[in-house]
Amino acid sequence: MNEATETPVLVGQRLAAARLNAGLSQKDLGRLCGTPQSHISGMERGKRAPSIELAKTLAQALGVSVHWLIGGDSNAILATRAIGTEHLLADSKTSAGLATLAGDPALCDILGIRSVEWGALRSLTPPEPLTKEGYVAILLVLRGHRQA
């Protein structure tokens, strides 16, 4: 095998490991990143490679560095971090709507928001500021819930 064929396989192995570590199915990760489950599957099998933009989105959603995801040398998953309410509330870059959601422990408990979901919500750059309710609606869409 040469480097050109080894790289997609390594990316796939790392993508699968990070996804499983985050407790996500391929379908869940696809929803979070806006790509079909079949594309996630193809990448994990080494049959497809992510674009640069998709690699950034995947890395952010999974809490790993792009460098590690695309095969960079490291002793461990770089930049792995649990994003939780404490992190969001302490970060001055967190939007007001997301901070309000993170500051509502009862609602956070009911929703059971996972670290990877906090990361996905934090990565959004909406054209208009979102309210707490707006972030909840987006979370439900990411999870595949239909609004009535």
pLDDT (tens digit, 9 = 90+) per residue, 43-60?
999 999 899 899 988 988
Q: Which CATH code, of 2.70.160.11, 3.40.50.2300, 1.10.1040.50, 1.10.260.40, is assigned to 3-69?
A: 1.10.260.40
d(Cα 134, Cα 138) in Å, to the nearest integer? 6
pLDDT for 106-144, tens place per residue? 999 899 888 778 878 888 888 899 999 999 999 998 888
Q: Where in the chain is the domain with CATH 1.10.260.40?
A: 3-69
Mean pLDDT of 31-43: 94
| Residue 76: band (very low, low, confident or very high) from pLDDT cuts 50, 70, 90 | very low
Segment 9-37 mean pLDDT: 89
pLDDT of residue 25: 92
Calpha distance 92→104 (Å, rounded): 17
Mean residue pLDDT of the chain comes to 82
Higher pLDDT, 91 or 101: 101
SS (H, E, C) 83-113: CCHHHHHHCCCCCHHHHHHHCCHHHHHHHCC
User: How far apart, in Å, do the first and last CA atoms of the chain sit?
Assistant: 52
* pLDDT value for 61: 84
Q: Where are the alpha helices (DSSP H) in the chain?
A: 3-21, 26-33, 37-44, 52-62, 66-69, 85-90, 96-102, 105-111, 115-123, 132-142
pLDDT at 59: 85
* 87-99 pLDDT per residue, tens: 778 778 889 999 9
For residue 17, pLDDT over 80 is answered with yes
Q: What is the structure's pLDDT at 82?
A: 53
